[in-house]
């Protein structure tokens, strides 16, 4: 079981992750309201709405914070609670991650495909639709296998925000290997090797 005080601490950390996720959602909402601002494209006008949205243009920092906090939470769920450095059952770890991420991801992808295919042809060159289109077999397959972040030709198609889910899913598979290596060898060398690989 959890040690005394661990559950409130974990709830606080999950709360930080929730705030970061909410901030990113607000930033994406602002992007849809005024895509010209975020892409620094011609057409942006200084308006009251633009000034009110200005505090929400830093979603990339919130994504970084979310990923760091997620790494801590992954570590917590991967290792035995006693702190003895033993990795828990990897199969169960992967099953939990897949159950958590795949159903909402594929539902979002399906809804996004439905919406994007309804966009009239005359809007295909207008932001944000110009970023999401065209939908090709190649970028659809890349999205289905969650590797669309590996190419700029696929990354922002269909739904531009799903790139972060593919990175998160890939990290689910790499993280246990890196963590196990950090337990077996010195953490410094594992971190250095990971940084060089990235």
Q: What is the pLDDT of residues 45-101, one digit of tens each?
A: 667 777 788 788 888 888 888 888 887 777 777 765 545 555 667 778 788 889 989
Over residues 21-50, the mean pLDDT reads 72
| Residues 37, 40: Cα–Cα separation, whole Å | 5
How does pLDDT run across 89-134, given as a tens digit for each residue? Answer: 777 878 888 998 999 999 999 999 999 989 888 888 887 788 889 9
Distance separating alpha carbons of residues 22 and 29, to the nearest angstrom: 11
pLDDT at 2: 46
pTM: 0.69
Q: At what angle do helices 137-144 and 90-116 cross, to 10 degrees?
A: 150
Average confidence score pLDDT of the chain = 81
Q: What is the pLDDT of residue 126?
A: 81
Q: Show Cβ contacts of residue 172 under 8 Å, excluding neighbours closer than 6 positions.
A: 74, 94, 97, 101
Q: Poorest-confidence range of 24-28, 36-40, 89-93, 178-182?
A: 36-40
* 186 or 163, higher pLDDT: 163
């Amino acid at each position: 079981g959890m040690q005394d005080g661990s559950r409130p601490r974990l709830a606080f950390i999950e709360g930080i992750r929730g705030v970061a996720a909410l901030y990113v959602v607000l930033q994406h909402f602002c992007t849809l309201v005024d895509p010209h601002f975020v892409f620094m494209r011609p057409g942006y006008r200084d308006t009251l709405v633009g000034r009110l949205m200005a505090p929400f243009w830093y979603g990339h920092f919130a994504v970084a914070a979310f990923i760091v906090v997620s790494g801590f939470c992954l570590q917590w769920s991967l290792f035995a609670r006693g702190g003895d450095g033993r990795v828990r059952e990897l199969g169960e770890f992967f099953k939990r991650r897949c159950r958590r991420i795949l159903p909402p991801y594929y539902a979002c992808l399906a809804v996004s495909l439905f919406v994007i295919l309804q966009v009239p042809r005359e809007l295909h060159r207008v932001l944000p639709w110009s970023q999401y289109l065209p939908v090709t077999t190649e970028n659809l397959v890349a999205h289905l296998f969650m590797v669309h972040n590996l190419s700029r030709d696929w990354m922002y198609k269909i739904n531009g925000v799903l790139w972060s889910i593919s990175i998160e899913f890939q990290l689910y598979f790499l993280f246990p290997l890196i963590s196990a290596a950090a337990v077996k060898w010195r953490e410094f060398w594992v971190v250095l090797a990971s940084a060089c690989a990235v």
